[in-house]
Structure 1
Amino acid sequence: MAPTFVGAHLEMNCTECGVTLPLPTEFRRHEVPCWHCGKPHPRSLVQGEAVTVEGDLIKIVPTPTELQLGDIIAANIDEQPRVKRILGTPGDTISIESLRLLVNTQRLEDILAAAPNKSVATLPVDYDSHRKQSRWQPQLSRSGWTRSEGKWRFTPPSASNANDWLIYHHQAVYDQMRAAAVMDDVPINVDESRRMAFVDRMAIGITSNAHSHATVEVAFFIDGETRTTNPVIIGESTIIRCDQASVSHGNAALELADVAPMAVRVTSGIASFDELNLFRSVEYRLRKYDDQSVFPITLGPTEYYIVGDNVPASVDSRNYGPIADSQILGIIEP
């Protein structure tokens, strides 16, 4: 269920950019590339530097009267308790679109984002303060944005700053840093070899100087179009998700794309960002080898469709179909 719950594993810091590298306790690779900057780490170095981290401790509590989409449960699968997330409840229809799993025509990650009491599984994409060369670039040649020691600062220029966007440009860590869309990489899956899939549900995390008082708008490239949030007042630590962007952006001066999926601009005040981090939601989908012919599936009165948050590696209903309610042992509390 990584990244939501992680078993015993290894961790070490990248020798180039310093981010944490999560690693399985056993792996076959002779060298492990950093998921963030691509720096290769020889197996001998990992074995000498990595420390063992205990797995997450979870608690199974009795199942409530009605289970809901997104609930994390323990289920009896082949006489073993397995932790999974509910993607479909009795009466729901599970379908696919471009291999993405839909429940009643909606993406599960969108349902979770809209539900105030449900956890959204996320994975890191970019930690700007760990980069010597930022992937964020001002749109204007004469911009109020400046970067020093890994921190971005915005001071309003004398002219209008309406189009003074700071745009994120993604690069393929495992493909010579070429311009690329954000993909569904799972850093702990170091032995996995597969064609990764495009993702588009993002969030930005901003850690701001305590003396910074600014209002920002964030633009996201979602479902082939640029959408912008309403103005957000930045606190010392602020998360802005793409589901908050509901305003179609009519300004032709800002053109986002798969390879440049996010931008931020300051609409008032002076901003000083100590950290500018990018995350992606876990997106639930079929793998190339999963049987597509069984969809759509309408669940019976006692059936549930379950998935794991480690989408590429999880063994779940995509493999063995819906489970019966009698197999559910309880819900999970961290």
Structure 2
Amino acid sequence: MSGSITIRLQQRQTNLWRTLFRPRWTHESARSIARSARPVGFFVRRSIAGVILIAVSLLVTGCRPRQSDEVTLMKVAGGSMAPTWVGRHGEVRCEQCLSSLRIVTAMMPPKGQAYVCPFCGGEVTSPGVADRSGDVVAVHHPRGNDHRWQRGDLVAVRRNGIPRLKRLVALPGDVLALDGLRLTVNGRAAGDHFDAPLIVVNQDWLSDSEAEGPSSEGRPFSWWQPSDAQGRPNRGWARQDSAWTAARSRDDAMPSWLVYRHRNVFHSLREDTIRDNYPGNVSLVRPLYEVDRLVLTANVQAGPDASVATGPLGEGGIEVYFWTPDGIVMHRRPLPRDMSAMRFYSRDAVLVPADRNATIPVTQKRPVAITAPPGTVVAGLLLERPVEYRLRRTDATESFPLRLGEDQFFVLGDNVPVSVDSRKWGPIRRDDLIGWVPATAEPIAAGRLPAQPINRE
């Protein structure tokens, strides 16, 4: 492959272990070293270096038992896998909410043109320059046909002689069907078979005020609001430095609610349902679809009176409620004494009995609510949505439902609106899969090593 680096791991690792663990000296050489009076730190540094080399070896192999794979460094050259990986791009910052975006060349507006910040609705002026190199990823090439491919794998696919990075969503024997335009695999949403990448919906720490309207510094207001069970604003939670603290209600039997009220950044911040906007696609005009799967992450700490108040289901701890088309669902967790990160998936939550719904202030436009005992601190609220794999209105639907043959796979890009993938190509063959990228891999610093371009669309 022209311009690529191929690493033969088996030979590299053999040499590595020989270097680290072969006898380094005989008794005679030991006496010679002693006479040279090298400091102890010399040997400590060599030992540390050996440990670091072992860690790097395990990282390169992805901690898999196979040691015969080859690895090729490839540079992403397009936007079809954003936000997981991006090609050449510019990093643009909103001066109002201080959020930043990686915008690929094809999506970068002309210099001086304004666009709407997808996080606060503020106006951002495009620099018109994509001056940052694309991500570089290490693609592992398995030898033989015994590699076990899994749904959710990040894979390199060769189409028309060009390698492309995609997400493997369906395997031989799987049945693909449509729920509207949402793609399902064996009766479940495609992204429910693995941990689909997450798209940011709201970052509460970027706001600077709990009242509607910008703060004195021009920062946007928080989209989280203390409310009663009917959704009316109250003072049940107090905010300071992006941290919310639950206050004692007048009636300890009644919970204090912190409710997320979503705003449409394209329509004057009016309350609206969450839709599948991709923040980096600032130049793309398309229909937006409603979202019904959410993920909430927050840092949580119990207050001094953690056992006083109870939630609507009669138990203590922090409770997080989500609106879904099938009804209200909830998580209940014990409160940690020390500040701890917690993550709540609506997909894994428990359905609330219907007769309790009137006491919980969540709706489609206010899809998340939190309640906790007085003194509970909730900070760094981050609301995200999993990527939803679906067809576009322009994609052919007549081939669905589709059962994959014994040598067929279905791949999609994480940037669902723009990716060119199996929705256009149809299923791919096993021979088209040329490698995989470890799910925990971070991009390699671009420019340090030559790499082959990947994902040109």
The alignment's TM-score, normalised by the length of structure 2, stands at 0.66
* AA at the equivalent of 2:96: E
Task: Tell me the equivalent position of 1:317.
Answer: 422
The match for 2:343 among 235, 239, 256 is 239
- CA deviations over 1:164-188 (Å, ceiling 9, x no partner): 2211111110122122111111111
* AA at the equivalent of 2:204: D
* AA at the equivalent of 2:176: I
Within-5 A mapping of 1:29-108: 29=110, 30-43=113-126, 46-47=127-128, 52-63=131-142, 65-108=147-190
Task: Tell me the equivalent position of 2:404.
Answer: 299
Mapped partners of 2:276, 2:97: distance in 1: 21
The match for 2:319 among 205, 217, 221 is 217
User: Residue 10 in 1 paired to residue 93 in 2?
Assistant: no
Task: Tell me the equivalent position of 1:273.
Answer: 378
Task: Tell me the equivalent position of 1:254.
Answer: 360
Q: Figure out how many residues of one structure are paired with residues of the other and give that number.
A: 323
Mapped partners of 1:238, 1:231: distance in 2: 9
Task: Tell me the equivalent position of 1:19.
Answer: 99
For the structure 1 residues 274 and 295, does the alpha-carbon distance in structure 2 shift closer, same or farther, using more than 3 Å as the test?
same
Compare the two structures and name the one with the higher helix fraction. Answer: 2
Structure 2 residue matching 1:58: 3-state secondary structure: strand
- The structure whose Rg is larger is 2
Structure 2 residue matching 1:288: 3-state secondary structure: coil
For the structure 1 residues 77 and 236, does the alpha-carbon distance in structure 2 shift closer, same or farther, using more than 3 Å as the test?
same
Task: Tell me the equivalent position of 2:67.
Answer: none
Segment drifting more, 324-333 vs 131-140: 131-140
Mapped partners of 1:158, 1:190: distance in 2: 46
For the structure 1 residues 146 and 65, does the alpha-carbon distance in structure 2 shift closer, same or farther, using more than 3 Å as the test?
same
Structure 2 residue matching 1:233: 3-state secondary structure: coil
Question: Per-residue deviation at 1:162?
Answer: 4.2
Question: Per-residue deviation at 1:120?
Answer: 2.6
Task: Give the gaps of 5 or more residues in structure 1.
Answer: 113-118
The match for 1:166 among 258, 262, 266 is 258
Question: Per-residue deviation at 1:85?
Answer: 0.9
Note if contact 1:221-1:256 (Cα within 8 Å) is conserved in structure 2.
yes
The match for 1:226 among 320, 323, 328 is 328
Mapped partners of 2:274, 2:253: distance in 1: 28
Task: Tell me the equivalent position of 1:115.
Answer: none
For the structure 1 residues 104 and 213, does the alpha-carbon distance in structure 2 shift closer, same or farther, using more than 3 Å as the test?
farther
Mapped partners of 1:58, 1:318: distance in 2: 24
Mapped partners of 2:429, 2:423: distance in 1: 15
For the structure 1 residues 12 and 232, does the alpha-carbon distance in structure 2 shift closer, same or farther, using more than 3 Å as the test?
farther
Mapped partners of 1:249, 1:60: distance in 2: 48
Compare the two structures and name the one with the higher strand fraction. Answer: 1
- CA deviations over 1:67-120 (Å, ceiling 9, x no partner): 1111111010121111111111101110000100000110122221xxxxxx43
For the structure 1 residues 107 and 162, does the alpha-carbon distance in structure 2 shift closer, same or farther, using more than 3 Å as the test?
farther
Mapped partners of 1:300, 1:72: distance in 2: 21
Percent of aligned positions that are identical: 29
Segment drifting more, 126-135 vs 297-306: 126-135
Mapped partners of 2:420, 2:324: distance in 1: 29
Task: Tell me the equivalent position of 1:183.
Answer: 275
Note if contact 1:155-1:270 (Cα within 8 Å) is conserved in structure 2.
yes
The alignment's TM-score, normalised by the length of structure 1, stands at 0.89
Mapped partners of 1:40, 1:249: distance in 2: 43
- CA deviations over 1:208-256 (Å, ceiling 9, x no partner): 4698896311111123411011324354322221123123254221142
Segment drifting more, 89-98 vs 29-38: 29-38
* AA at the equivalent of 2:252: S
Task: Tell me the equivalent position of 1:116.
Answer: none
For the structure 1 residues 15 and 55, does the alpha-carbon distance in structure 2 shift closer, same or farther, using more than 3 Å as the test?
same
Segment drifting more, 269-278 vs 301-310: 269-278
Note if contact 2:249-2:256 (Cα within 8 Å) is conserved in structure 1.
no
Note if contact 1:220-1:226 (Cα within 8 Å) is conserved in structure 2.
yes
* AA at the equivalent of 2:344: I
Mapped partners of 2:254, 2:352: distance in 1: 16
Question: Per-residue deviation at 1:326?
Answer: 0.6
Mapped partners of 1:269, 1:60: distance in 2: 50
Cα root mean square deviation, aligned: 2.3
Task: Tell me the equivalent position of 1:138.
Answer: 226
Task: Give the gaps of 5 or more residues in structure 2.
Answer: 1-80, 210-220, 307-316, 442-457
For the structure 1 residues 105 and 137, does the alpha-carbon distance in structure 2 shift closer, same or farther, using more than 3 Å as the test?
same
Question: Per-residue deviation at 1:195?
Answer: 0.9
For the structure 1 residues 314 and 67, does the alpha-carbon distance in structure 2 shift closer, same or farther, using more than 3 Å as the test?
same
Note if contact 1:163-1:254 (Cα within 8 Å) is conserved in structure 2.
no
Note if contact 2:302-2:375 (Cα within 8 Å) is conserved in structure 1.
no
Note if contact 2:245-2:374 (Cα within 8 Å) is conserved in structure 1.
no
